Amino acid sequence: MDKRAAFPYPIKDCVSGVAKYPFPFSRAFYMTKYPDVKLYDTTLRDGTQGEGVSFSSLDKLRIAKELDAFGMHYIEGGWPGSNPKDISFFERAVDEDWKTARIAAFGSTRRKDIGVEDDPQVRLLLEARTPVVTFFGKSSLLHVKKILSTTEEENRCMIRDTVRYLKESGREVVYDAEHFFDGYKESAEYALSTLLAAKEGGADCVVLCDTNGGTMPHEVAELAAIAVSTLGIPIGIHTHDDTGVAVANALAAILAGATQVQGTVNGYGERTGNCNLTTVIPNLQLKMGRPVVSDLSRLTRLSYFVDDQANHAHNIRAPYVGSTAFAHKGGMHVNAVQKVRKSFEHIEPEAVGNRQRILVSELSGQSNVLMKAEELGLKIEKGSSEAQEILKSLKVMEEQGYEFEAAEASFELLVRRHLCSSRSFFDLKEFHCSFRHDGEHGYKSCWATVKLTVNGVEEYRVAEGEGPVNALDGALRKALRSAYPSIDEMELIDYKVRIIDGHLGTAAKTRVFILSSAGHDTWGTVGVSHNIIQASWQALVDSVEYFLAKRCN
């Protein structure tokens, strides 16, 4: 078959300059032979190998249920017997009603020089009672000789025996060919022979693993195509992101005929992470015409849910699901999307459960202000004096050091004040902070007092805190509690300080961001001053006023 007709996009060899056509078959062949791509999630196993990522057994179960509801085909729960959390997960998973997902237990081949039925690790894989068992073996001669210290033939037997034993026990068996791409470069013949050993044992799917994450997309495409044509059974792909191309590598393998893609939600994983499923899935479904889930609009929610369970901040710049994925800042861009959304948006944000965001900054034009106000439910006429005054105030405040991109609540209050649509919930008379440090005994205390007028009543309150901002927060709440008891529903969940014009040293301005929440709602506020306490007070007051405006108006 003419490779030029099969694959019209050649890859030029950087040394010889000769154009190569790596795929031995047409893309139509791959689309018809194995048309369905299956999603294999390993967040609960490989994802937990990432630095700072840890899930309790309950976390694992909650994430698995969310993955199942999303439509994941396979969920790898962990390594049975490796730790109490994984044992507990598998015990609970047996009794769950899984709607779309098949749960997989993960392990390795039998050990060298013992019978597979005598290997306790293999027995634990069966005792997990999962319908699917995934295990890894070695494809690289380096690992066979230097890590396992065994022979080439014994390694193949370890793979073949383990697959056969698990199949005879009634399991669907997925074989992960660890270090396949590196092993192929060492010895193509041996690496392929290990895949054939898995096939001979009866493997349902053989997964090509770029374990070190150093393979490039054109290499993955070529070697995956060779594996597809050599084995004639379903091929999967498992990539790591050490060179930043894990997603590209996975897509290249799928174009070459792979029909299972392994990865983790948000790319969690060892070192720099695994293939990010929240990027691969929409690329498959929206860009490559390979539907994998029935409701892609749940994707952003899934991404945030897993981050919450891992107690990690969400990656705001993540493709598709990040909060800035469809954010527009430049005035000309905003003007364009106001007229035609697809002028600067490659998909409709709602398709993946995300939303368009209009940012306001020193780059803003009237379009930014108008669209942002409309997003907040505030009507401003284009060219009106209000629009011009708001834009003028915005630019002046940004010059002073304010930033509103992460402080949308402060921007909304700014707009409402210009429109005279904001209610004053209290008037500040004065506040004071004091800090006492007993050098002899090491005793420290911080106090804050606030004097407010609340609904015509003067309130004077004192509170002690861990620091001046904590004390101010406590005193403000005390002063407002009788008039607005709902104040106890809100909490401050993040506090950030940034130094503006740091070259001025201690005379530099300070910018304070406060992130607050109440239930599922979160909002950001900002304050700027040479005095860090004053900047904090501004951000704190905006946070409280925004909350009260939403609850009491």
Q: Are 190 and 183 in contact (CB under 8 A)?
A: yes
Asked if pLDDT for residue 9 goes beyond 70, the answer is: no
Phi/psi of residue 193, nearest 5 degrees: -65, -30
Q: Among 63, 65, 60, which residue's Cα sits nearest to residue 80?
A: 60
pLDDT in tens, 498-549: 888 777 777 888 989 898 999 878 888 999 999 999 999 999 999 999 999 8
pLDDT in tens, 399-451: 788 877 667 888 888 888 888 766 788 998 999 998 877 666 666 789 999 99
Q: Are 95 and 59 in contact (CB under 8 A)?
A: no
Q: Write down the pLDDT at residue 393.
A: 83
Asked if pLDDT for residue 19 goes beyond 80, the answer is: no
Q: Write down the pLDDT at residue 264.
A: 98
User: Taking the model in full, what pTM does it have?
Assistant: 0.69
Q: Are 362 and 395 in contact (CB under 8 A)?
A: yes
Least confident of 144-153, 270-279, 462-471: 462-471
**Mean pLDDT, rounded, for 220-227:** 96
Question: Confidence band (pLDDT; 50, 70, 90) for 17?
Answer: low
Tokens of 288: 């490559």
Asked if pLDDT for residue 478 goes beyond 80, the answer is: yes
Cβ-Cβ contacts under 8 Å for 246 (sequence gap 6 or more): 210, 213, 239, 240, 263, 267, 273, 274, 275, 276
Cβ-Cβ contacts under 8 Å for 271 (sequence gap 6 or more): 50, 213, 240, 242
Spatial separation of the C-alpha atoms in residues 172 and 44, rounded to whole Å: 19
* DSSP string of 20-56, one letter each residue: E---SS-HHHHHHHS-PPEEEE-TTTTGGGSTT----
Q: Write down the pLDDT at residue 366.
A: 59
**Mean pLDDT, rounded, for 481-491:** 92
The rounded radius of gyration (Å) of the Cα atoms in the chain is: 29
3-state secondary structure of 12: strand
Question: Confidence band (pLDDT; 50, 70, 90) for 80?
Answer: very high
Pairing of strands 509-518, 521-529: antiparallel
Q: Are 128 and 86 in contact (CB under 8 A)?
A: no
pLDDT in tens, 173-205: 999 999 999 999 999 999 999 999 999 999 999
Q: Write down the pLDDT at residue 443.
A: 62
Phi/psi of residue 405, nearest 5 degrees: -60, -40
Residue 145 neighbours by CB distance under 10 Å? 14
Asked if pLDDT for residue 128 goes beyond 50, the answer is: yes
Spatial separation of the C-alpha atoms in residues 162 and 197, rounded to whole Å: 10
Q: Write down the pLDDT at residue 326.
A: 82
Q: At what angle do helices 152-168 and 120-127 cross, to 10 degrees?
A: 30
Cβ-Cβ contacts under 8 Å for 304 (sequence gap 6 or more): 314, 321
pLDDT in tens, 97-119: 999 999 999 999 999 999 999 99
Question: Confidence band (pLDDT; 50, 70, 90) for 4?
Answer: very low
Residue that wins the pLDDT comparison between 501 and 354: 354
Q: Write down the pLDDT at residue 231.
A: 96
Q: Are 358 and 375 in contact (CB under 8 A)?
A: yes
Asked if pLDDT for residue 167 goes beyond 90, the answer is: yes
Spatial separation of the C-alpha atoms in residues 527 and 536, rounded to whole Å: 6
Spatial separation of the C-alpha atoms in residues 89 and 77, rounded to whole Å: 7
Spatial separation of the C-alpha atoms in residues 28 and 42, rounded to whole Å: 30
* DSSP string of 377-412, one letter each residue: T----TT-HHHHHHHHHHHHHHHHT---TT-HHHHH
Pick the CATH number of 37-310 from 3.40.50.10490, 3.20.20.70, 3.40.50.2300, 3.30.56.10: 3.20.20.70
> What is the residue extent of each domain of the chain?
37-310, 327-400
Helix (H) or strand (E) holding 496: strand 491-500
Residue that wins the pLDDT comparison between 427 and 390: 427
Spatial separation of the C-alpha atoms in residues 391 and 216, rounded to whole Å: 47
**Mean pLDDT, rounded, for 57-85:** 92
Q: Is the dihedral of CA 282, 283, 287, 288 positive or negative?
A: negative
Question: Confidence band (pLDDT; 50, 70, 90) for 26?
Answer: very low
Spatial separation of the C-alpha atoms in residues 63 and 301, rounded to whole Å: 12
Spatial separation of the C-alpha atoms in residues 116 and 113, rounded to whole Å: 9
Asked if pLDDT for residue 263 goes beyond 70, the answer is: yes
Asked if pLDDT for residue 496 goes beyond 70, the answer is: yes
Q: Which amino acid is at 519?
A: G
CA 316 to chain centroid? 9
**Mean pLDDT, rounded, for 358-364:** 57
